[in-house]
């Protein structure tokens, strides 16, 4: 018999049938990615999107002319944070004079490609321009609030999440606020900044962001936790907490990291991993961070603090996912595999139901509500209803290789990638619709980027 095909016996047919149906059920459950599975996403952003999350990077405006850099950026990531260009010294170098050029370049690069933008950072003890460093008391408090208001207003509708306040707690065992000129204006400076940000851009999600807040047992983590709990109790507008997660410079991934993520989430805020880098990029620590985020429904995404090791603020530690030549490192493969193996909040139920309001609308003065429509093997319909405006434009992004193939009851325009549609009202009413071809990606779903009236 050796070498010749075996006739299918009854038991072999049964075994084949059982294996095939098991594979079918696993595929339907969506929880298992078989090795070599053609449906596994091949980029970080696409894979994260299939799990209802983002995978982003810090971006430096000065590198946007480097095509090796932008090739990786545009291919792999669906979220960006300006590494330095939205800091106070960059945006308001002289009091009352705002320079938005580099920050706007990053925002435009990202939004033209359907990437979400994290604003970093409105209020911080560090990177203050000279004029602010020399201020104190009421004058400083007012200058800080004015900065928050001006900047959040400038970027209104373009920023999904703001790091409203950055690094306001001390390291070590005290659990105290960090001493700074801002802290000396009064302990309520943080909540004042959050209220000003909410007023200036009501649709941006407002985050508190810090480092060394990864280990659940650390006094600093506990202190930030108590502040967020207090803000939630008193109605201070806070939506999210950013864990920078710089596991560089001597700080390690802690085994209780998932507890930290889920504990913050249990307060009713989203959690973001905002500045991830790990000394020498070990595969196990990167894999653990991804698995921990995927295990916590309110962990919305991961941002690495740079693309190539040569772009890192700690390049000597080679902490990132791409080497200086732009090649994928083993940590990249570990991250992508973990993302592809993970489950999302609702990864395979096409289309999602019970999600009447599409979060987070980042636009102006209206609300766009997405409702799943009919679906077929290769495509599905979505309808969007606008409230709060009679004339409007709604920006919808889809995840490639999906493509919108038909629209109705609105006037669409497209960005150069074809992945971001701006739908304007055409007088036919408040509801428009569109058909999306899945092109092999049956899990990703459209995202509402903004709703602007007028």
Would you name the residues annotated as active-site residues?
167, 275
HEC-encoded secondary structure of 163-199: EEEECCECCCCCCCECCCCCHHHCCCHHHHHHHHHHH
CB of 301 to ligand G2I, least distance (A): 17
CB of 320 to ligand G2I, least distance (A): 12
**Nearest one of 105, 121, 102, 217 to 167, comparing CA atoms:** 121
C-beta of residue 271 within 8 angstroms of C-beta of residue 296: yes
Measured from each CB, the residue nearest to ligand G2I is 313
Q: Which strand ranges, in their side-by-side order, compose the sheet holding 403-408?
A: 367-375, 379-387, 431-437, 403-408
Tell me which residues touch ligand G2I (CB under 6 A): 83-84, 87, 127, 211, 244, 275, 313
C-beta of residue 181 within 8 angstroms of C-beta of residue 125: yes
Residue 453: C-alpha distances to residues 108, 365, 389, 393 (Å): 21, 6, 5, 6
For 114, the 3-state DSSP assignment is coil
Q: Which residues pair with 58 in a beta bridge?
A: 81
Token code pair at residue 151: 């900047």
Start-to-end Cα distance in the chain: 77
* Backbone φ and ψ of 273, nearest 5°: -100, 110
Task: Provide the pairing of β-strand 411-414 with 420-424.
Answer: antiparallel
131 vs 313, beta carbon nearer ligand G2I: 313
CB of 247 to ligand G2I, least distance (A): 12
244 vs 450, beta carbon nearer ligand G2I: 244
* Backbone φ and ψ of 175, nearest 5°: 65, 15
Round to whole Å and give the CA distance between 19 and 6: 18
127 vs 262, beta carbon nearer ligand G2I: 127
165 vs 423, beta carbon nearer ligand G2I: 165
121 vs 367, beta carbon nearer ligand G2I: 121
124 vs 257, beta carbon nearer ligand G2I: 124
CB of 64 to ligand G2I, least distance (A): 14
- The count of C-alpha atoms lying within 13 angstroms of the C-alpha of 310, restricted to the half-sphere facing its C-beta, is 9
Round to whole Å and give the CA distance between 293 and 300: 8
50 vs 83, beta carbon nearer ligand G2I: 83
Task: Provide the pairing of β-strand 431-437 with 420-424.
Answer: unpaired
Phi-psi map region of 55: left, alpha, beta (phi>0 left; psi -120 to 50 alpha): beta
CB of 448 to ligand G2I, least distance (A): 29
27 vs 60, beta carbon nearer ligand G2I: 60
CB of 169 to ligand G2I, least distance (A): 13
CB of 237 to ligand G2I, least distance (A): 22
Token code pair at residue 198: 């909410």
CB of 69 to ligand G2I, least distance (A): 15
């Amino acid at each position: 018999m050796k070498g010749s095909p075996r006739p299918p016996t009854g038991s072999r047919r049964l075994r084949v049938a059982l294996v095939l149906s098991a594979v079918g059920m696993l595929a339907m459950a969506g929880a298992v990615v078989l090795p070599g599975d053609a449906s596994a996403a091949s980029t970080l952003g696409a894979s994260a999107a299939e799990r209802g999350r983002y995978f982003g990077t810090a971006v430096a405006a000065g590198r946007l002319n480097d095509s090796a850099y932008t090739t990786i950026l545009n291919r792999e990531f669906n979220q960006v944070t300006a590494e330095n260009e939205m800091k106070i010294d960059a945006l308001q170098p002289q009091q009352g004079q705002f320079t938005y050029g580099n920050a706007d370049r990053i925002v435009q690069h990202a939004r033209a490609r359907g990437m979400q933008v994290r604003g970093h950072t409105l209020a911080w003890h560090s990177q203050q321009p000279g004029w602010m460093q020399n201020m104190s008391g009421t004058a400083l408090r007012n200058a800080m609030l004015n900065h928050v208001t001006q900047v959040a207003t400038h970027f209104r509708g373009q920023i999904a999440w703001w790091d409203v306040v950055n690094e306001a707690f001390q390291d070590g065992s005290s659990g105290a606020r960090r001493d700074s000129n801002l802290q000396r204006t009064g302990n309520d400076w943080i909540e004042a900044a959050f209220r000003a940000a909410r007023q200036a851009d009501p649709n941006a999600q407002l985050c508190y962001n810090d480092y060394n807040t990864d280990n659940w047992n650390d006094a600093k983590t506990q202190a930030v936790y108590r502040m967020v709990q207090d803000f939630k109790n008193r109605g201070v507008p806070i939506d999210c907490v950013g864990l920078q997660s710089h596991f560089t410079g001597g700080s390690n991934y802690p085994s209780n990291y998932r507890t930290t993520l889920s504990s913050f989430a249990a307060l009713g805020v989203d959690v973001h991993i905002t500045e991830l880098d790990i000394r020498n990029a070990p595969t196990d620590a990167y894999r653990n961070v991804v698995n921990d985020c995927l295990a916590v429904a309110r962990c919305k995404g991961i941002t690495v603090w740079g693309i190539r090791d040569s772009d890192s603020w700690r390049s000597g530690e080679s902490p990132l996912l791409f080497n200086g030549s732009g090649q994928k490192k083993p940590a990249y493969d570990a991250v992508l595999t973990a993302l592809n193996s993970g489950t999302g909040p609702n990864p395979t139920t096409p289309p999602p139901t019970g999600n009447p309001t599409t979060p987070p609308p980042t636009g102006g003065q209206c609300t766009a509500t997405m409702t799943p429509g009919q679906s077929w093997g290769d495509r599905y319909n979505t309808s969007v209803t606008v409230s709060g405006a009679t004339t409007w434009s709604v920006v919808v992004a889809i995840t490639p290789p999906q493509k919108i193939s038909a629209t109705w009851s609105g006037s669409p325009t497209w960005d150069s990638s074809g992945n971001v549609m701006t739908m304007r009202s055409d007088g036919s009413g408040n509801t428009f619709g569109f058909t999306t071809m899945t092109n092999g990606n049956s899990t990703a779903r459209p995202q509402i980027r903004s709703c602007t009236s007028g």
